[in-house]
Chain A
Amino acid sequence: SYELTQPHSVSVALGQTATMTCGGDNIGTKNVHWYQQRPGQAPVLVIYKNSDRPSGIPERFSGSKSGRTASLTISRVQAGDEADYYCQVWDSGVLFGGGTKLTVL
């Protein structure tokens, strides 16, 4: 069955740039979506269709895809960006990656 692989954790200094990856076979043929989940809250869609931003999501959030990896990049990281981030595709059902915990130092 298809799997999405995310690093368990990423750390970044306040004000710097954070990049989180999502790997999967043939991910180039799929549309990847990204969610932010702050502790105790429901997930929020931050990127859809690889690189599109929903209304209300800051331009600091961007998405890209290259080869077997999709990436979520957050520029000028703020303390409020500390959260879990999940990638997601459709593959005979909704499929999530295992999630990456972003820690802001």
Chain B
Amino acid sequence: EVQLLESGGKWIQRGGSLRLSCVSSGSSFSDYPMTWVRQAAGKGLEWVSSVSGGGTATYYADSVKGRFSVSRDNSKNTLYLQMNNLRADDTAVYYCAKEGSSGWMELDSWGRGTLVTVSS
């Protein structure tokens, strides 16, 4: 079973930048797409970004397009989310998740999340 561990979340001022990391303990990390999902306190799940297994195809929610960038280093089994020009409404717990094997973008393994707090 794949274990995912996020890190990098912290308190940061509006307009600042932050990079989140997600390390996978599983083998064959490059075989599956990865996704970032966030959840503001008391709110529902919101998709942020996804990246293909090889890292060449990336997808973003409109709310973060142009400000966030997803990447991965398959040699290090690590997923990244570079967040620039942070806004107060980016405050949330950020989860990384792995796509399952059906090919229909179900997320079958999740990390425990890392909290990003953007001060206004």
Binding site for B on A (CB under 8 A): 31, 33, 35, 37, 42-45, 48-49, 52, 54, 84, 86, 88, 90, 92-99
Q: Pick the contact of A99: B45, B97, B113 (CB < 8 A).
A: B45
B110, A44: Cβ atoms closer than 8 Å? yes
Binary contact readout B32-71 vs A (1 if CB under 8 angstroms, 0 otherwise): 0001010000001111001000000001110000000000
- Bound CA span A35–B37, Å: 13
Taking the nearest CB of chain A, how far is it from the CB of B11, in angstroms?
20
Of residues 74 through 119 on chain B, the ones whose CB sits less than 8 Å from some CB of chain A are 95, 97, 100, 102, 104-108, 110-113
Given A96-B46, A98-B44: A43 in contact with B105 (beta carbons within 8 A): no
B105, A94: Cβ atoms closer than 8 Å? yes
- Bound CA span A90–B35, Å: 12
Taking the nearest CB of chain A, how far is it from the CB of B64, in angstroms?
11
Give A84's nearest chain B residue, CB to CB: B44
Given A86-B44, A93-B61, A99-B44: A42 in contact with B112 (beta carbons within 8 A): yes
Taking the nearest CB of chain B, how far is it from the CB of A99, in angstroms?
4
B110, A48: Cβ atoms closer than 8 Å? no
Taking the nearest CB of chain A, how far is it from the CB of B8, in angstroms?
17
B59, A93: Cβ atoms closer than 8 Å? yes
- Bound CA span A35–B110, Å: 11
Taking the nearest CB of chain B, how far is it from the CB of A55, in angstroms?
9
Q: Pick the contact of B104: A33, A37, A43, A99 (CB < 8 A).
A: A33
A42, B105: Cβ atoms closer than 8 Å? no
Given A93-B50, A96-B44: A43 in contact with B95 (beta carbons within 8 A): yes
- Bound CA span A35–B35, Å: 15
CB neighbours (8 Å) of A98 from chain B are: 44
Among the interface residues B61, B95, B100, which one has the most CB atoms of the partner chain A within 10 A? B100
- Bound CA span A43–B61, Å: 19
A49, B106: Cβ atoms closer than 8 Å? yes
